[in-house]
Structure 1
Amino acid sequence: MQKTRERLVEAIEHENSGEKSWKWCYNQYVSGVGYTIINRLAAFRCMEVRGFLDLPVTQIGESGLTPAAEKVLSESFTVGREESLVVAYHDACEKMQDEIEILFNLRSTHSVIDPKPAHFRKLVEMIDDISDEIWLADDVLGWVYEYYNRPVVEALDSKDTLKAEDVGPANQFYTPHWVVRLLADNSLGKLYIESTGQQSIIPSPESLSRDERKNRIVSPEDAPGVPELCTYMIPDEGNLEAPSFDDPSEIRVLDPACGSGHFLLYAFDVLERIWWAERPNLSRSEIPSKILEHNLYGVDIDLRSCQLSAFNLYLKARTRAEEENVENFEMPNTNIVCADARVADVEEAIDILNQITGEGTRAREAIDEIIAEFQSTEALGSLLDVQGMLSEELMQEQTDLLRWNDDGPHTLNAFLKKLREAVGDRTSDSFSEQNLKSFLNLLVVLTQDYDVALMNPPYGMRGRMPDDVKKYVEEHYQYYPEYYINFFEVCENLTKTHGRVGMLIPWSFMFRKVFESFRTDFVSKDRRFDFLAEFGYDILDNATVGTVGTVVRTGTVGDGEGTFIRLHDVPKAEKEFKFINAAFDDEYDGMVQRRYTRDTSEFSLIPGAPISYWVPKNLRDIYASNTVLDADNADLPERDSIGVVKQGLATGNDSRFFRYFWEVADEESKFPPISKGGSDAWLLPELAGPYFGKTMEKKSNDTTGLGHKILNIISMKV
């Protein structure tokens, strides 16, 4: 009991990544234990409904116990009836921890204590209330992830300032599956097609109906290849470049803010088709584990999301392997890593680093600097600039120092992998040494090259980006401190030449002044829009920001054409249908143009380079004129002006000189109606009465004075 208490105190103190109080750490720890238990129980139920567990842990039978608990009770005389429920749960975690360590690790801080039997029973009874059909869905754990903290998230929505611990929960938005599809199809799917020179096999727009595109069957028989699966892939004109590969194991996909792994799960489906095509002689039963080992990488600041992401990939891989008749699926190490600042709490493991790298070396000092920066900058996550802080020259020196010779690492990433391997061979079960392994995993992931990055990154600037993070971004990144802009910088740095970045992000970068340098560089440097869909609002549940989904080609000359689809005014329930119609059938929706094709370089014709793709080029060309309306206001000092733009007539004090309709005493008021804009436009009928300084004759058919009542309504609307 004393040992457990000491370990519990250590675990609670482990929550403190800064100068936090004991009470704060205690509350954080209790929350962490709670969500870990919920995640494990939800994971076990997903396994049970798929037949992956011989003895269910969360299904209470007629005996009042779970089958696993019944077995425990029959084999032990020292375990009580209610206690057997928790013992069976603990045993099941122990069996799974080697396969999915990040979720089931019983040596982790959140595993020091187990739930009380009474609480455990209530939890599994609540899980029992949910039908098996729901637990069989691929995305069920994504909804568990989003709605577990929904009350917390709703409380944060109204805040202008976020603390570091709030950044993760405040950005828990589940990306709709159809948006994941269109981003992955037009990044990973298209990259593979272009890399192998198979553009001709992309289905033409007219070859599939809208229903066939939306509801294509994803079974191996019905969708045996990338073109059959990726039906939201928009064909391009001409032969475009893509990163080359000799083996599908070389293709790497990163989600730097992976959440519950929605992008990675769909990327798994695409990658499986790539393996089938490129390695036809390899048994299909071996491919799922190879995808997890070689192709998919995820990072998140929130441990609970990492747990669910790793487990979701396990479920996907094991399900596919067993469909290919594998009896004993072996889970490889997943490449899902947690970027919580607490993983840099490695003080007690420093001796291990000293033994391996040599105390006092330049490389050792650089690693210390990274540890210190990351530990002191909460909510940094994937923005940790490893490549900017550890140079290749330092790694070369370290390679020579350790006498790794020709077989040793000669790149930053190879060095970190070698260091991770050496640390893994020497560490014990202490929290600090487990942190060291996790931190090195993070450094490895953030120093690799990737073919594709897919993400729905966090959003936030000014008060919604913690001050420490803002300061770090200003020192290490080029553009204005805004999470999603800086996450794009990370992805661009990590993706290969002609790679792809697919992302769902706010639309503010298209026009806001603070992002002008980003836009200007975007349209003039080696990157370009391959595809952009302007969704507007309502794509993300409970989010209050307009969004766009876009795929960007990195390391590609920017003067190429891209496809732009405008859906900002379409109701949420109709957006997918309108997307399919605009992308593949008709660029017009009645009288409204939905699809545009624009050369990225056109945007630079307008000062500030707003991404106004709906503006025709002949109108943009006007901005190249030597004479403009107001050169000073447009920041074009070299041009001639024909006038000065000013606001025009205004009251200067609307609350004094304007009245709402309920403030007007009667229809004889001297306040005439005025239109001040808004979402509704009303037509003014012919009315009788003294308005605008003259009397209008009352129409004979307006016997009830209805015109005046309508006028009052108009006043109310404006």
Structure 2
Amino acid sequence: MDKKAIKTFAIQARRSLIESIKLKLENLGITKDGVAEKMSQSTNEIEYYGDKGLSITGQDIRRRRELVARLKGMAKQEEWSDALTDLIEEVAYTWFNRIIAIRFMEVNEYLPSGVRVLSSETKLKVPDILREAFEIEDDLGGYSVDEHGIIQKALDTEDPTDMDAAYVILFTKQANALNHYLPELFEKTDDFMQLLFTPSYSSGVIKDLVDDIKEDDFDVDEGGQVEIIGWLYQYYNTEPKDAAFKKKKYLSSDIPAVTQLFTPDWIVKYLVENSLGRYWIRVLHDRGDERTSLQIAQSFNWQYFMPEAKQDEISTRADLSKKRVEEITFVDPAMGSGHILIYAFDVLLQLYQSEGYSRREAAQNIVERNLFGLDIDRRAFQLTYFAMMMKLRRENRRSFELQLHPNVFEVPSTSLELKDFSGAKDGSPIDSGNLSDVLGRFGAGKELGSLITFESSIFDDKLINKIVSEREAGQLTFEMSDQVNHQWELRNLIRVGKALSSQYTISVTNPPYMGSGKMPKTLAKFVGKYYPASKSDLFAVFMERLQHLTKENGIFAMITQHQWMFLSSFKALRERMSSWPIINMAHLGTRAFEEIGGEVVQTTAFVVQKQKLQGFIGTYERLVDFDSQKKKQQAFLTAVQNPNLNYVYRTKQTNFEKIPGSPIAYWASKKKLELLQYSSYRLQNILSAREGMTTGNNALFMRSWHEVQFFKISFLSTAHQIERDKTWFPYNKGGAFRKWYGNIWYVINWKNHGEAIQSNIDKKTGRIRSHNYNGKFGFREAITWSAISSGMFSARYSPTGFLFDSKGVSSFANDHTTLLFCLAFLNSNSSSSFLELLSPTMDFKIGQVLNLPLAKQHSPQVVELTESLISSSREDWNSFENSWSFTTNILLTNIAEHHRNWTVEAAFQQWQKEADDRFNQLKANEEELNRIFIDLYGLQDELSPEEEDKDVSVRRANLPRDIKAFISYFIGCVFGRYSIDTPGLAYAGGDWDASKYKTFIPNKDDLILLTDDDYFGDDRDVMTRFKEFLTTTFGSENLNENLKFIADALGKRGDSSEEQIRAYLRDDFFKKDHLSTYQKRPIYWEFNSGRNGGFKALMYLHRYDRNTVAMIRTKYLHPLQEAYERKLVQLKKFEENEQQTRQKNKYKKQITTITKELDELIKYDEKLQHVANLHIDLDLDDGVLVNHAKAQADTKILTPLK
């Protein structure tokens, strides 16, 4: 199945349908602004609408009136624009569903007429339904005289217009004819639906479907599956889903799009085979079948069945020897497009056949007796219904004549109230608490779906049965105009309510995922009241609901996000789940779904017995380390055949209670469980930790350190003495994985002891927005770590002088030696192995970290190694200009230290050696610490001291990165931020000191041009300055060699090294490197005239003043315009005199380019003049984001910070 092609088609089909429907509505005078009146020239027979004055006649006039009435009715419940959007979506998906259903049926020869509708069996361009229109007239319900004439004319003339007109008739009649056989999908078409969709076989959605999606993907005899309908549906919802995800809170109408995800085929098989399949194996064993469970599974070809672990104790289960297959009920309460139910159908078919049933009889029983499903989304319900009917049709050619209705349901909402029913002929109101309860619970059915619960006894109410009884309906008094509708609606509510009140042998689902913060108000309130243990996420709520839906001694199975296994917010849910033994769990982790990349969605699939079994040993497959859906699938299959692999675990659920918080840490060894349960000495005995500050507005009070003037930052504050004349103070805020030292990015406004932060009041509540001001712990030497990480835990040494954030937790000891010992332990793999149990979700809370068992013996070697590790990590951090302790570029450091006149290549090689030496030494020291702690904890049988290179967090040499860093340093020297003569920052605000610059003099103006050529030959040109810089630092004799080495490292195209470097500086330096290096808070800003790049230049933020833009305009832009004009004249002369066509065309291309650049510069000049006249002042304390916008005064003169 080509999912890429399917996705492309589905997304484009939705767009095409919607655009087509919108256009038809506009032509009918119906837009987001309302409904237009017919134009004055209209008559009773013809009406004109829209800007183009298009006409409608005959039946279309009536259809338009019905359409307008429908829209106005919808607009009573919502805004007009929303009503219009909803109707467009409804029409689009209705026809989309029908088109793909017809395609599936025609390919598999399931259409009652036996004639293709969308295509030709003999690959003709014209669909068979046109060629055989009169042969299948009875199947389509017959033709009127007019229809007969249109079809005959088309067949006679074969004119495309005539053929299209006939096809519209035939397609619509086929859709309406299928209503008799598949009434839930092919509902009788509202006339206005026909008005808004014109089927065409020669263009649009139908043609794209036939041309772009392989026929074999639909053909069940050629490996196709009815599941293609589910994939098409999921991909059809791609854009609505993406739009909804961007919302802070979902609407009830968003729920289907944001929660439906097509479950991978192998996971569906895992869930069904290990629940339904397992249950049947128990039936066979209770009947006396002596085969092993795996042997029985293999006889059914259940590849994903995992046998149960051998039990220490014999657990008593209910005897199933008399259970018949007809008695097994299977439900999916969040069925989506029916993927799970369809595979359950296949498995049940196997069971019936093994019991001696014919496939035909079995299929009918499955649809009528075994399978049940529910969903809030009508589209999903229709597709599940269709898929079930197609499975039935495959086994029984006469199934359409049986008029069967599968037990799948759309959970409805109702606005009916008790007052809509009356119990006496005089119209007096009836009194039925049960009826009122039913109506009330379905009031928000579209939001609550399968979470709605009923006691089954509620439906034994005599009055309810009387109302829904066809025989007695006439004896009741209704509002006569509505009585039939009310009766039918209530009848449907009762059918769905009975399904919701029932319990089932097997319950399996892939539930909706939705955090409580995004739940619609009604849903959030409901789950908070009725599902308090699981209210944090909808998937967890469904875990409780699935257990309720399952009969005692039954089995339920799910795939969910894995947070419930570990997070404290799900502890109450875990306690409830502990009553039911986990038979099997396939812990998938990330990348279990091809459609979801990244590390955010982490899942687990599991099978649970609804029976209290003491001491049950569950089996767990740890697949989290396999990094793709395919690899996880293969790893599971391998585990089935070899259950003793190192990623297969067996444990009792009672073991989880030995771990603080009771996480489902099934991989915990006996030794670790003992240490976690019985250790009396823990990290909290010698280390105290505090959650850090919440400023209430980081955008206002926090900056990257390089944004502000350097002299305003305090580096000498301590807990006892704070520098009162400073504004900005170092601030720990977590960050990426890095051990020992670093991630020092931020400063916070703590002037006057944080006066501004502590007085920041929320205008709505009147409360102070900030809290946790660090108190006596501020500015103390500490250990810090990232509270939330996407990878391993990593702790860093924080010297005195720092405040800390809630995301950069800090911990403290009474003395330096103890602090370093704790830091060493936290960064050891022993600590990591404990934290994998306590914090598997990478949310490293204080309580979990401090609860780590601590070895009482302190090795003196630990502190010595830790000092060395901190020193190495500090050296690495300070080697790059992200650090405020950066002194000079790494390539120039080597020249100074070794007193050599090297080439850039030689300098890089020396840096590479030193970086490798540091890396290898640090890795060796970390492995020695690992060995020490492994010995202290007695974990030699579980852990090895060796670590992978990826877990060593100092940097090795990287030629492209390091050359780009060298160029960045050069730019800094051009602007005076750095100086070859002065270690560290030479200028970052304050007073300019010219004495710091002797060897390489910065530009006088705060600008350097990034042009495609050297137009001036002076310090305005970036390559002129770069060559000067290279000559100054590495000597003139190696200039060309150095330029080539640098150009090769950058990998840009160009005829010469200079052109390649110039191209990098012009096109990539700012957007690709400087922005990322400085975390989208750049210190060099790029002036940019637009798409053609006529003017590009860099400016240093800290040298900006109110006259900078005026200076740029007069000293740089205008001279560059003149240079372009001179070049244009020159190129035109060259072009005139050139005889060779190739060269002549080259000149023409250059003339076109420079003409566009000149035109762009004229417009850019106007923008610069506007800004220059404003003389804008910037306050660096406001930060880059604010100043970047302010400096442009609502124009676009700078490259965006994206």
TM-score normalised by the shorter chain: which range applies? 0.7 to 0.9
For 1:601, the equivalent position in structure 2 comes to 654
Report if the CA contact (8 A) 1:506-1:545 is conserved.
yes
Matched, 1:321 2:377: no
Structure-2 separation of matches of 1:503 and 1:110: 42
* Counterpart secondary structure, 1:315: helix
Q: Distance between the aligned counterparts of 2:348 and 2:440, measured in 1?
A: 37
Q: Does structure 2 retain, via aligned residues, the 8 Å contact 1:502–1:552?
A: yes
For the pair 1:41 / 2:99, whether they are aligned, the reply is yes
Asked whether 1:128 is paired with 2:181, we answer no
Are the structure 2 counterparts of residues 623 and 247 from structure 1 closer, same or farther at C-alpha, using a change threshold of 3 Å?
Answer: same
Give the letter aligned to residue 689 of structure 2. K
Equivalence for 2:1125 = none
Offset from partner CA, 1:649-676 (integer Å, 9 cap, x none): 9996148995789xxxxxxxxxxxx999
Shift of 1:277: 2.9
Contact 1:259 1:306 in 2 (8 A): yes
- For residues 298 and 168 of structure 2, the distance between their equivalents in structure 1, rounded to whole angstroms, comes to 45
SS in 2 for 1:241: coil
Residue 55 of structure 1 corresponds to 115
Return the match for 2:182 from 71, 94, 100: 100
Aligned to 1:257: 334
Tell me which residue corresponds to 1:186.
274
Describe how 1:138-217 pairs up with structure 2 within 5 A: 138=225, 139-197=227-285
Is 1:450 aligned to 2:493, yes or no? no
Match of 1:472 among 499, 513, 526: 526
Residue by residue, what CA displacement relative to the aligned partner does 1:198-220 show, whole Å, maximum 9, x if unpaired? 68566676x7xxxxxxxxxxxxx
Aligned length: 641
* Residues 349, 433 of structure 1: 8 Å contact kept: no
Equivalents in 1 of 2:71, 2:486: separation in Å?
13
- Residue in 2 aligned with 1:671? none
Q: Which moved more, 1:479-488 or 1:329-338?
A: 329-338
Query: CA-to-partner distance for each residue in 1:152-209, whole Å, 9 max, x for gaps?
Result: 222334444222211110122111111111111110000111133268566676x7xx
Structure 1 equivalent of residue 762 of structure 2: none
Judging changes above 3 Å, is the alpha-carbon distance between structure 1 residues 346 and 45 closer, same or farther for their aligned structure 2 residues?
farther
3-state SS of 1:597 partner: strand
Alpha-carbon contact 1:349-1:436 (below 8 Å) kept? no
Deviation, 1:563, is 0.5
Task: Summarize the Cα distance change of 1:331–1:197 in structure 2 as closer, same or farther, 3 Å threshold.
Answer: farther
Partner of 2:557: 502
CA distance in 2 between partners of 1:39 and 1:349 (Å): 37
What CA distance in whole angstroms lies between the structure 1 residues aligned with 2:547 and 2:198? 48
- Cα distance change, pair 176–563 in 1 and its aligned pair in 2 (3 A): same
Contact 2:459–2:494 at 8 Å: present in 1 too? no
Contact 1:57/1:68, CA 8 A, preserved across alignment: yes
Q: Distance in 2 between matches of 1:149 and 1:429?
A: 37
SS in 2 for 1:500: strand
1:230 Cα offset (Å) = 1.9
Which amino acid is 1:485 matched to?
A: A
| Change in 2 beyond 3 A, CA 1:652/1:117 | same
* Counterpart contact for 1:500–1:554, Cα < 8 Å: yes
Note if 1:67 corresponds to 2:128.
yes
1:485 is aligned, of 540, 548, 568, to 540
Kept in 1, the 8 Å contact 2:171–2:199? The answer is no
1:298 maps to 2:373: yes
Q: TM-score, normalised by structure 1?
A: 0.78
Aligned position for 2:731: 653
Q: Which residue of 2 is the match for residue 583 of structure 1? A: 640
Partner of 2:568: 513
- Give the 3-state SS of the residue equivalent to 1:317 in structure 2: helix
What is the DSSP-based 3-state SS (H/G/I as helix, E as strand, rest coil) of the residue aligned with 1:162?
coil
Contact residue 289 and residue 331 of structure 1 kept, 8 A: no
> Cα gap change, 1:12/1:565 in structure 2, threshold over 3 Å: closer, same or farther?
farther
Any stretches of 5+ residues in structure 2 without a counterpart?
1-58, 138-142, 151-161, 475-480, 693-717, 719-728, 735-740, 746-783, 795-826, 828-867, 879-884, 886-892, 901-905, 919-953, 962-1076, 1078-1202
Root-mean-square deviation over aligned CA pairs: 4.4
Alpha-carbon offset, residue 8 of structure 1:
3.5
Give the AA of the match of 2:175: C
Deviates more, 1:196-205 or 1:602-611: 196-205
Instruction: Indicate the residue corresponding to 2:824 in structure 1.
Output: none
By how many angstroms is 1:679 displaced? 5.5
Structure 1 residues 126 and 382: alpha-carbon distance in aligned structure 2, compared to 1, 3 A threshold:
same
1:385 aligns with 2:461: no
- CA-CA distance at 1:31 after TM superposition: 0.6
1:94/1:174 CA distance change after superposition, 3 Å: same
The equivalent of 1:210 in structure 2 is none
Q: Scaled by the length of structure 2, what TM-score is found?
A: 0.48
Q: 2:611 aligns with which of 530, 552, 555?
A: 555
Bigger Rg, structure 1 or 2: 2
- 1:29-87, Cα deviation, whole Å (9 max, x unpaired): 21112111111111111111111121222115888653334455785541234333233
SS of the equivalent of 2:365 reads: helix
SS across alignment from 1:498: strand
Contact 1:420 1:441 in 2 (8 A): no
Does the CA-based 8 Å contact 1:459-1:483 persist in structure 2? Answer: yes
Residue 913 (structure 2) aligned to one of 672, 686, 707:
707
**Gap change, CA 1:537 and 1:648, over 3 Å in 2:** closer
Distance 2:572 2:380 in 1: 33
Q: Partners of 2:499 and 2:428 in 1: how far apart?
A: 20
Structure 1 residue 474: Cα displacement: 1.8
**Cα displacement (A) at 1:265:** 0.6
Matches of 2:472 and 2:217, distance apart in 1: 39
User: Could you say what secondary structure the match of 1:258 adopts?
Assistant: coil
Are the counterparts in 1 of residues 557 and 605 from structure 2 also a CA contact under 8 Å?
yes
Whether the 8 Å contact between 1:32 and 1:110 is mirrored in structure 2 is no
Q: Does 1:532 align with 2:585?
A: yes
1:359 to 430, 433, 448: 430
Q: Is the 8 A contact 1:8 1:112 kept in 2?
A: no
> Per-residue displacement from partner, 1:334-354 (whole Å, max 9, x unpaired)?
11111253xx24469944999
In 2, the alpha carbon distance for the partners of 1:675 and 1:351 equals 64
The counterpart of 2:406, out of the listed 312, 334, 337, is 334
Letter in 2 for 1:58: L
Structure 1 segments unaligned to the other structure (5+ residues): 208-222, 403-414, 634-641, 662-673
Q: Aligned partner of 1:551: which letter?
A: V
Q: 1:144 to 1:546 in 2, by over 3 A?
A: same
| Identity among equivalent pairs (%) | 22
Letter in 1 for 2:593: L
**Aligned partners of 2:409, 2:602: CA distance in 1, in Å?**
29
